[in-house]
C-alpha cells in the first residue's frame, strides 16, 4: 500500500443521495473501530444504514467484493441461523456507487438492536461466538468456493508474509530490543509457517468459503437477549481454510487484554477457548472431515503468529497498512500476538484435548 487514499468528501449526504433511501437525518457519524475501511452510520426516514468506503489500497478489486457479497446474500436468503446484512442498491441498480474521485461506496442495512463487543465478558458470549462462526461455515458449506472471487489474493498465505518479512529485514538492522525480540521469536518458528498451505496443496484439507476476519468486533450480538446475530465486515469472504477462521477468531476472543494489551504478558484464555470451540463443533461436527479437525490446532497457533508478522512487517515498512495513532504501535501489537502464540504453544495439549472433546474424538 503506497498511495494515500482520497480525503473523505465533506458532504457525505451527496454520497447517500446516490442510493434510494431518502435524505439523511442528523449527522453522518463514524462507526466502529475498523482499521481498513471508512465506515459511517446514516439514518433516513426509511431506516438506519451503514455507509462504507472500501479501501482500494488494500482491496485491489472492490467490485469483486460486491459480487461475492451478492452471491452470499442470495445463498443465505431464507436460511435461518445467521443474518447477512442486506446491500442497498444504488440508483443505477448496482450494489455500489463509484464517485468521480474513483472511490467505491456502498450502503448496507444496519441490523437493528445489535451491538459489537470490545471483549468477551462471559462464557455464554464465548459460546455465541463459536455458534456464529460455526453457522457461517455451515451456511456456506454447500456454496461452491470457486464461485467466489479472491478479494485479497494470498490474504492468509503465511509463508508470503514471512518472505516479505525476510526482505524487509535484509534492508535494515534492528533498531531496538523490541524489534530484535520479535525477530528472534520468528526465527524459532520458520518451520511451521507452511503447515496449512502444505496440507492444502497435499489435498489433506479443502478450500471452503471463509470469513477471513472473524475477530470479536466483527460479530454482532443482540443487545438485549445477548445471542449472536451476524458476522459483519464481509470484505474478506473468499475461498480459504476454516482453520484460519477459527484461529483468527480465537486469537481475538481469547485475548482478554485486546490487541494493544501488555505486550509479552498477554495470555490466551482457555476459559473462553473451550466454549467457543465446543459451540463451533456443535455446528460443524457433521460435515468437517477428521483431517480438518486434526489441523484446527495448527490454525489456532498460526493465526496470531501471522498477524504478529503482519503488524511487525508494517512497522518495519513505515506503518502504511494498519491505521496507527503513534509510531511503535504496530510493533507493540506484534509483541501481543507473539505472546499469544507462546501461550498457545505452552497449552498445546490442553487445547488439543478440548478440541478432541468438542468433536467427541478419543484424546
Where do contacts with ligand GN1 occur on this chain (CB under 6 A)?
A: 34-36, 58, 213, 215, 233, 236, 259, 307
Shortest separation between residue 30's beta carbon and Mg ion, angstroms: 15
Interface stretch with Mg ion, choices 135-143, 206-214, 272-280, 311-319 (CB under 5 A): 206-214
Q: Which CB atom, from 233 or from 269, has the smaller least distance to Mg ion?
A: 233
Q: Which CB atom, from 213 or from 269, has the smaller least distance to Mg ion?
A: 213
Shortest separation between residue 97's beta carbon and ligand GN1, angstroms: 21
Q: Which CB atom, from 238 or from 278, has the smaller least distance to ligand GN1?
A: 238
Cβ 270 vs Cβ 354: under 8 Å = yes
Q: Which CB atom, from 245 or from 259, has the smaller least distance to ligand GN1?
A: 259
Q: Which CB atom, from 155 or from 305, has the smaller least distance to Mg ion?
A: 155
In sign, the C-alpha dihedral spanning 84, 65, 9, 7 is: positive
Cβ 43 vs Cβ 51: under 8 Å = no
Shortest separation between residue 210's beta carbon and Mg ion, angstroms: 13
Q: How many residues bind Mg ion (CB under 5 A)?
A: 2
Shortest separation between residue 133's beta carbon and Mg ion, angstroms: 15
Shortest separation between residue 289's beta carbon and Mg ion, angstroms: 28
Four-point Cα dihedral 165, 167, 170, 171, nearest 10? -110
Q: Which of ligand GN1, Mg ion, none does residue 65 bind (CB under 5 to 8 Å by kind)?
A: none
Q: Which CB atom, from 233 or from 269, has the smaller least distance to ligand GN1?
A: 233
Shortest separation between residue 212's beta carbon and ligand GN1, angstroms: 7
Give the residue closest to Mg ion by C-beta.
213
Which of 179, 213, 314, 343 touches Mg ion (CB under 5 A)?
Answer: 213
Which of 233, 269, 283, 314 touches Mg ion (CB under 5 A)?
Answer: 233
Q: Which of ligand GN1, Mg ion, none does residue 259 bind (CB under 5 to 8 Å by kind)?
A: ligand GN1
Strands 219-222 and 87-88: unpaired
Q: Which of ligand GN1, Mg ion, none does residue 119 bind (CB under 5 to 8 Å by kind)?
A: none
Q: Which CB atom, from 24 or from 261, has the smaller least distance to ligand GN1?
A: 261
Shortest separation between residue 359's beta carbon and Mg ion, angstroms: 28
| Residues lying near Mg ion in the complex (CB under 5 A) | 213, 233
Amino acid at each position: 500500500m503506497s498511495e494515500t487514499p482520497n480525503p473523505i468528501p465533506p458532504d457525505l449526504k451527496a454520497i447517500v443521495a446516490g442510493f434510494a433511501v431518502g435524505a439523511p437525518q442528523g449527522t453522518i457519524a463514524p462507526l466502529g473501530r475498523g482499521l481498513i475501511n471508512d465506515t459511517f452510520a446514516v439514518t433516513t426516514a426509511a431506516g438506519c444504514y451503514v455507509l462504507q468506503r472500501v479501501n482500494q489500497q488494500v482491496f485491489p478489486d472492490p467490485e469483486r467484493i460486491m459480487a461475492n457479497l451478492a452471491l452470499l446474500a442470495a445463498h443465505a436468503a431464507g436460511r435461518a441461523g445467521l443474518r447477512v446484512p442486506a446491500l442497498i442498491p444504488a440508483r443505477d441498480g448496482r450494489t455500489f456507487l463509484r464517485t468521480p474521485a474513483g472511490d467505491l461506496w456502498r450502503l448496507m442495512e444496519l441490523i437493528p438492536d445489535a451491538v459489537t463487543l470490545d471483549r468477551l465478558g462471559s462464557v455464554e458470549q464465548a459460546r455465541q461466538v463459536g455458534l456464529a462462526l460455526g453457522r457461517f461455515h455451515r451456511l456456506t458449506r454447500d456454496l461452491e468456493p470457486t464461485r467466489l472471487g479472491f478479494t485479497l489474493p494470498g490474504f492468509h498465505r503465511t509463508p508470503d508474509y514471512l518472505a516479505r518479512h525476510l526482505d524487509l529485514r535484509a534492508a535494515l538492522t534492528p533498531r531496538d530490543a523490541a524489534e530484535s525480540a520479535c525477530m528472534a521469536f520468528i526465527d524459532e518458528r520458520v518451520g511451521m509457517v507452511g503447515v496449512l498451505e502444505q496440507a492444502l496443496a497435499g489435498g489433506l484439507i479443502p478450500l471452503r468459503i471463509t470469513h477471513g476476519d472473524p475477530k470479536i468486533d466483527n460479530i454482532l450480538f443482540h443487545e438485549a437477549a445477548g445471542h449472536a446475530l451476524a458476522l459483519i465486515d464481509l470484505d474478506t469472504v473468499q475461498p480459504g481454510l476454516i482453520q484460519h477462521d477459527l484461529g483468527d477468531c480465537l486469537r481475538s476472543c481469547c485475548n482478554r487484554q485486546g490487541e494493544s494489551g501488555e505486550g509479552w504478558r498477554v495470555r490466551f484464555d482457555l476459559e473462553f477457548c473451550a466454549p467457543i470451540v465446543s459451540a463451533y463443533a456443535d455446528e460443524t461436527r457433521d460435515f468437517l472431515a477428521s483431517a480438518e479437525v486434526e489441523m484446527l490446532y495448527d490454525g489456532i497457533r498460526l493465526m496470531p503468529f501471522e498477524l504478529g508478522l503482519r503488524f511487525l512487517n508494517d512497522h518495519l515498512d513505515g506503518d502504511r497498512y494498519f491505521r496507527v495513532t503513534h509510531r511503535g504501535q504496530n510493533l507493540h501489537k506484534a509483541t501481543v500476538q507473539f505472546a499469544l502464540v507462546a501461550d498457545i504453544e505452552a497449552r498445546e495439549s490442553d487445547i488439543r484435548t478440548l478440541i478432541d472433546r468438542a468433536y467427541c474424538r478419543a484424546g
